[in-house]
Structure 1
Amino acid sequence: MMGLEAGVIGLVAAYVLLSTLLLVVMIFLPLPRVAKIAAIVVASLFYVGVFFATQRLLGWSAPVAVPDRFQVLWTRVIEPNPSRNNPGAIHLWVEELDESNLPSGEPRAFRLPYSVELARQVSAAQAEIDEGRPQGGRAQFWGEGSGEKMGAAPVNAAAPPGGDPSGGGLFDPSLLGAQSKSVTLAPLPKPKLPAKDLPE
């Protein structure tokens, strides 16, 4: 998996490539030499600006799809505030798990649209984490219909995961194809370790 730093460098490199192509085209346009030099200087300043501006974005929770299977490391529920036109949000700091429930070692932060049901699940999961009981999650249902318990709240496999859908709008992550499909949280399953060979 490409790291965040490599992603930032790749983004800046793509910007440099596009800008260079535009500047090459400008060389052959009948423009004053001063205009061409100014365009080169401005484009070069933008390279630096894009790099540092992108660095500031790395700590923000990403409104993209959560992993299919993950461990919840920490949570933060932002309640809606209509007076400030704030729809609320749910932030999850998670670590992806493989099919054996082993962690990837690369924690990431995700932002999901606020819903009452998802906020309830997340608050219950955080209470369990505070008590030292690791919590996991999936972008799909846990189990096969029997339901599992997270603290005192049962996870109903017949209900839609996470509760209410987001409210829509031009910048709604679901409209952009990046919605984190509401998650279902439950106690973290133990890792599935390979069987040890018995001594002969």
Structure 2
Amino acid sequence: MAEGIIGLSASFLVIVALILWLIILSKGKFWILKSIVITLATLFSIIVLISLKDFIGWPSKSSIPKEFQLHWAIIDEPNKIRNTEGAIYMWVTALDKENETKGLPRAYKIDYTRKNHEEIVKGLISLGDGIQQKGERVKAKEDIDIEEDLSNLQEIVIYELPKPLLPDKNDSRTEQGGASSNNFNALEIDPETGRPILEKKEE
């Protein structure tokens, strides 16, 4: 998200600056420079349009977070008839070192591999059972059966999201209970009157 915002803002600033420069110097001179300016402005406009895809719901092709919580995924298997390589679309939220979510959920698109397919299916089954799932981006293995450059291939592993560690309350309860039992003095009840005996009579 941050990279998209920076790219979008910088592109707009450059376009505005070029347009202002063109207007100020538009007196019939420097037509070669004006042509270059118009070309550059057109290119930056295209960059803006491409950057806008990250803001209108298109899945991002950028690197998926190193650790993330998997909310759901859709598997598009390769199809030789339609000549499609396949892809996996994931809806995830980045996690920090304490497994706490940071930021908002985002849609990502990763390359299809059989390993990723199996991991996603396993995660979706667990999600269907109400078990939260955590994922990690790992380095792709060289023995993957895919005719692509492995340097840009994202491989993932999915497993159960560890539950947060809560402080043990048994120790504190035991200490509090032990302290209260030591300070507590039982009252004797007079069997005849049914009232507590506040002071013992000396015999």
Is the pair's TM-score, using the shorter chain for normalization, greater than 0.5? Answer: yes
Query: 1:192 Cα shift?
Result: 4.4
With over 3 angstroms needed to count, the CA separation of the structure-2 counterparts of 1:54 and 1:2, relative to structure 1, is closer
CA RMSD of aligned residues (A): 4.2
Residue aligning to 1:10: 9
**Which structure's CA Rg is the greater one?**
2
Aligned 8 A contact 1:63 1:179 in 2: no
Q: Which amino acid aligns with 1:114?
A: Y
Aligned 8 A contact 2:12 2:48 in 1: no
In 2, the alpha carbon distance for the partners of 1:45 and 1:84 equals 34
In 2, the alpha carbon distance for the partners of 1:107 and 1:165 equals 31
Give the percent of matched residue pairs that are identical in Structure 1 and Structure 2.
23
Aligned to 2:88, the other structure's residue is in SS state strand
Query: 1:123 Cα shift?
Result: 1.2
Aligned 8 A contact 1:23 1:39 in 2: no
Query: 1:20 Cα shift?
Result: 6.4
Residue aligning to 1:103: 101
Aligned length: 169
Query: 1:124 Cα shift?
Result: 1.7
* Structure 2 stretches lacking a partner, 5+ long: 177-203
Higher RCO by CA contacts (8 Å cutoff, separation 6 or greater): 1
Q: Which amino acid aligns with 1:131?
A: D
Query: 1:188 Cα shift?
Result: 0.8
Aligned to 1:56, the other structure's residue is in SS state helix
With over 3 angstroms needed to count, the CA separation of the structure-2 counterparts of 1:193 and 1:7, relative to structure 1, is farther
Which one has a larger percent helix, Structure 1 or Structure 2?
2
TM-score if structure 2 supplies the norm length?
Answer: 0.62
Residue aligning to 1:189: 162
Query: 1:78 Cα shift?
Result: 0.3
In 2, the alpha carbon distance for the partners of 1:110 and 1:73 equals 12
1:134 to 124, 132, 135: 132
TM-score if structure 1 supplies the norm length?
Answer: 0.62
Query: 1:70 Cα shift?
Result: 0.9
